[in-house]
Structure 1
Amino acid sequence: MGTIKAEIAQAIKTLKLKQEDICLVSDVKSLYLELLTHFIKSGDRRWWWEDFRQEAFYFKTYEFPFKELIHIIPKDVNKVWLMVEDDEEAYYPIYDCKPSVIAQLIGECSAFEYYVIDKNKQWLLCENHSDQLIGVGEQLRILNKDKLR
């Protein structure tokens, strides 16, 4: 098990999150490759945010970007995919999760890059190692135009 995946498993226990709050996707390879093909131009790469198919946009600078996610993710979204960068895994782990638990979960872990992905693949939101919050998808851009740089 990768380091980040193990940290998340521990954070889920610490926070007493339930299966309906967050659960690891079982067929991660298939979903990972589907999302990769949909969002990335140049194929598999470590940092997806360097080569999105759609034009990316940057959010304002926040001290703790992950704490802002709940204000950025569309209110009508009940579940998203949370993909975390864990280089020790063959494919980045992907969790089916409620947007409301993401900040708590990330706050319990050491820093890592992550991607929050709409289940209809309409938008993607990520935080990179430079603490930049980056988005793709017109719906996300329109809903958050007051939060962009």
Structure 2
Amino acid sequence: MNMNTYCMSPNVQQMQIPQSNMQMFNQRSPEFFTGTTSSPFPNMMQPVMQSTMNQGTDTQGIIEALVLKVDKIFEKLTTLDKVNEKLCKFESTMNNLVKHVDKVSKRMDDVEKSMEFVNEQFEISKTDHTTVTSSVSQLHAGFNDMSLDVDN
């Protein structure tokens, strides 16, 4: 994996480029010279400074190590992005679940109200049935009394 793969990550876009604290080379700057020069060009660096600049292999190794570290950081950022996506999906799923549970709770409340209504109507019907049965019994008894009177 390389850095370019992860550059579109939102985490990477928010990163700031670190500022270098290294001193910039200025040919007129006296710190980079060890003394008077015997060369025909007064702005040339002395051999002591040139020997410190011939560290290409060490510098290359350090650069490669830094590139590997940066790649690992980008991999971790990508993993964090994936975790963030999964958390967003989980949150969305949980919100949908809450909506469905709310709907089911409302339906259950409606069913309970309906059952209470049916129970009330059943009790009313039961009372009416008892009243009608008693009235029919009274009418039947009255009819029997009347038929006895008519027969006599």
Whether TM exceeds 0.5 here: the answer is no
Larger Rg: 2
TM-score (norm: length of structure 2): 0.17
Instruction: Specify which structure has the higher proportion of strand.
Output: 1
